[in-house]
Amino acid sequence: MDGNKRGRRRHRRGIETLKSILILLLSLSAIYLTLLALDYSKVSWAPLQGVLSLFRPETEQAPENTFTPGQSSISPRPVRMAVCDGVDRFASQYDTQQTDQMFDELSILLTESLASAAAPQQITEDAWRDALQAPGVWFDFLGAVPLDALYAWLGDGGSNPSLTHAARRIVVALDDGGQVRLSYHNESDGLYYACDTTVVYTGHMDALISGYGSNGVSFVFELADGSGYDSLDPYVLLSAGSLQPPVYHVSNPLSDISESMLSALQQAVSFQPQSNSVYPVANGIRIREGRETLEISGDGTVIYHAGDSDAYRYPISGTDDGRLFALTEVTWRLAADTVGRWCGTARLYLIGAEEQDDGSIQLSYGYSLNGAEVALPGGNCAARFTVRDGQISDYVLYFRSYEQTGQTSLVMRERQAAAALDALDPEGRELVLCYSDTGGESVQAGWIAR
């Protein structure tokens, strides 16, 4: 009898074990079907794939990511340049290849000027215009770049305490006394400044700026009244011929993100790809480490919030003296390693830095295409960082990728565009080409006034 009882008990335990296994399999199947039903990112996000991988053969695992943060370099380059020998002027704009070539040939003059610049002295606007017409080189970086940061990047980490301002337009030119000076417009206070330098003109600078000739490009202020450009900002550079800017295909790199790209992105922003605090939100995922959150959305946006002042993932030192170098160095590096890495043929540029009412500083970066800025949907920037209390407390990244289609578009001549602007707004404004990205599959350039 005892033997029969033990047999029945073993039989019941076997049935209970089978029930438990069946319940576990049903639970896992329910999880699997739930994940498949999610429409957040076609179940291609790495945290969710970690669960889905339980149901896949080993051979279907995503390849290991080999991305190393910090591979992209910080190399701000002008979008416009002009070289003048005192008689002729050759200028380049809306032509990245040509402008890059000029910068490669003439950037040494800017580097030497920044390295040897003495304390800035305020000058008149007439003196600024004289510098634009004197033998020298003019640079336009589209946004205001801190001069100390610009020198550090061009001069392999060099520093000059005299470089206390930020500037978009800079000219290295010979003055009436035979000395080379670095002049610039500081848009934050609206004033013009010049710094003495030790750059040698005879036998050095004169040789670099000779031989370019003229391509008929001029500044608006050089034209006579009634020329048809009276409504424009005096420092708009007028092209001699008609423009045919390229057309670009546009895509969102995060619309169908791969596991390897997600891992690379997390590493680029110093978040652990193996983080366990990951959960789905509408159209994306949210990663939490402590009180910090990183939200990655399929619409192309990545949003970071520090949560409290104790989080020092992105500390910024060396800002006590008020210079913007440290702020720009860290934020540009982070922008370059994220949106800059996946932006295709576009380039990043520093739009500027602004102090907010609460004492924080906001630094914004934009995309440019062939020397023209890109206007993003909803007034977004490629990257916008908020810095407070010596660290980045928040940022928003907007991922877009641009590739040439091989096509070009026609735009009206600048005189016609200026006449249209004059009819709408008689105030002097800058007339520039701009690519308006409204979220479609392609962008082409058109004139705007700003």
pLDDT in tens, 199-214: 999 999 999 999 999 9
83 pairs with which residues across the strands? 90, 137
In contact, 99 and 186? CB cutoff 8 Å: no
Beta strands in 177-239 (DSSP E): 180-186, 191-196, 218-219, 237-238
d(CA 447, CA 449): 7
Instruction: Identify which has the larger pLDDT, 289 or 323.
Output: 289
Written as one string, the DSSP assignment of 390-442 is TEEEEEEEE--EEEEEEEE-----HHHHHHHHHHH--S-B-EEEEEE--SSSE
Instruction: Answer yes or no: is pLDDT of 441 > 80.
Output: yes
pLDDT in tens, 233-281: 999 998 877 889 999 999 999 998 888 898 899 999 998 877 668 888 8
Residue 311 has a pLDDT of: 64
Q: Residue 373 — pLDDT band, cuts 50, 70, 90?
A: very high
Where exactly does CATH 3.30.310.160 map onto the chain?
249-404
Q: What is the dihedral of CA 83, 115, 100, 171, to 10 degrees?
A: -30
Among the ranges given (98-107, 244-253, 317-326, 331-340), the one the predictor scored with the smallest mean pLDDT: 317-326
Fold classification of 249-404 (topology level)? TATA-Binding Protein (3.30.310)
The residue length of the chain stands at 450
Instruction: Answer yes or no: is pLDDT of 23 > 80.
Output: no
Q: DSSP 3-state assignment of 123?
A: strand
d(CA 391, CA 61): 37
Residue 51 has a pLDDT of: 31
Q: Would you give the DSSP letter of residue 234?
A: T
Angle at 351 between CA 350 and CA 352, to 5 degrees: 90
Beta strands in 105-179 (DSSP E): 121-123, 136-146, 166-174
pTM given for the model: 0.82
